[in-house]
A = this chain, B = another copy of it.
Amino acid sequence: MRFTNLFTKTKREAPADEVAKNAQLLMRAGFIHKEMAGVYSLLPLGVRVVNKIANIIREEMNAIGGAEMQSAALQRKEIWGKSGRWDDEAVDIWFKTELQNGTELGLAFTHEEPLAAMMRNFVESYKDLPAYPYDIRTVFRNEPRAKSGVMRGREFFWKALYSFSVDEAQHNAFYEKAKQAYINIFNRAGIGEQTYLTFASGGSFSQYSHEFQTLSDAGEDIIYVDEEKKMAVNKEVYTDEVLADLGLDKNKLVEKKAVETGNIFSLGYKFSEPLELMYKNEAGELKPVFMGSYGIGITRLLGVIAEERNDDRGLVWPAAVAPFQVHIVVIGDDIADQANALYDQLQQKGIEVIIDDRNARPGEKLADADLIGVPVRVVVSSRSLEQGGVEVKRRAESEASIMSVDEFIASLG
């Protein structure tokens, strides 16, 4: 991409009304635009990071049998009335609206009820199960406070998979696969090391649910971490009884602040029974479907990574989620041809590259490259060409080195 096609601009100062570091950095660097507290538009750089995260998730969900769909946002009262979740007293973060004829509608904050209702069209017999539809879409939550930037949005992007199984055993086998897929996702997104499988409160069908908590001082959750076992316990279930049950030693646990970046949950018959999602087993008996849900906050991940991967000069993206792999900084008017040739060569090799072709001061271009945080910066200037090539610096390192163009391309692997 050419910088001159990017309609955004970086800012030197953080916006006055934004307290969260992740949003401050993402706004300064031109990844997001704030519409109001808790509501952000994604700018082109932000769209690219979100797509990278979404594609990692998509690959891992498809690998365990998931099938991507796109649920509707507008929701009917009748369906949610069956589970008891329509009432604002039961769910206090609904956005509600209505049709012109006065019919009340809700904006989806999740999709257990509509998906259970939809699956009645497709599930008759045990042969139609298991089924694993998933959404990658925007959902809406009317949060009373929204001060954590994109880590807690009123409108946010997530992935939600719902599992439909014949029984608890079939469910449990998938649940374990989903757990591993989540571990893969956080590892691939570059925050695996500080993300912990965390035991949290369950429901009627399981003693625990599992959260994926990413350590961050900006987090709203308190967890107790066993670093050796790479697991944690959420404060809400942090009792001697639970620790004994999980075989954890209180003396080895460290209290940490963390952000819930994902969760997986055994729902059992909580939604299939009220929504009458049944199947016939081999004996011809009608049985309720066993459900599970598996969420992961995509814009929340964007926020956590921004919050945790930065330095005093700006963002430092892990390569797998970076908006581009290479950021070319062109210094001087006389070397446009050489810089464009490098740009074309990288594009042809399928390497995602942004070229700063603006008519701007070198200092401004270098500062913007640091603020945006693409993994590899390449300066093309008459000085670098005299020295035999281009000046290459990794964002996470401080030393630059001169390489020939061929050496540089080979170094990208």
Structural contact, B118 and A33, CB atoms closer than 8 A: yes
Residues of B contacting A1 with CB < 8 Å?
A: 67
Q: Does A72 contact B (CB under 8 A)?
A: yes
Determine whether the beta carbon of B67 is less than 8 Å from that of A100. no
Please give, as numbers and ranges, the residues of chain B lying within 8 Å of A219 by CB-CB distance.
Answer: none
A207 at the interface (CB under 8 A from B): no
- Taking CB atoms, residues of chain B closer than 8 Å to A164 are 7
**How many protomers of this protein does the assembly include?**
2
**A41-B69 CB under 8 A given contacts A97-B95, A133-B7, A142-B99:** yes
Chain B residues positioned under 8 Å from A75 (CB to CB): 35
Do A67 and B155 have beta carbons less than 8 Å apart? no
Size of A's binding interface in residues, CB under 8 A: 57
**Interface of A (DSSP majority class):** mixed
Q: Name the B residues within 8 Å of A9 (CB-CB).
A: 121-122, 128
A7-B119, A7-B132, A122-B8 known; A44-B73 Cβ under 8 A: no
Neighbouring B residues of A70 by C-beta, 8 Å: 41-42, 46-47, 50
A76 touching B35 by the CB < 8 A rule? yes
**Would you give the 0/1 interface string for A120-162, flagging 1 where the beta carbon is closer than 8 Å to chain B?**
0110000110011100001010101000000000110000000
Name which residue of chain B comes closest to A76, CB basis. B36
A96's contact among B71, B97, B122, B155, by CB below 8 Å, is which? B97
Q: Which residues of A contact B (CB under 8 A)?
A: 1, 5-9, 33, 35-36, 39-44, 46-47, 50, 65-76, 95-101, 105, 107, 114, 118-119, 121-122, 127-128, 131-133, 138, 140, 142, 144, 154-155, 164, 359
Pull 10 A–B residue pairs with CB atoms less than 8 Å apart, ordered by A: A1-B67, A7-B164, A9-B121, A39-B74, A44-B133, A46-B70, A74-B154, A99-B142, A107-B107, A138-B138
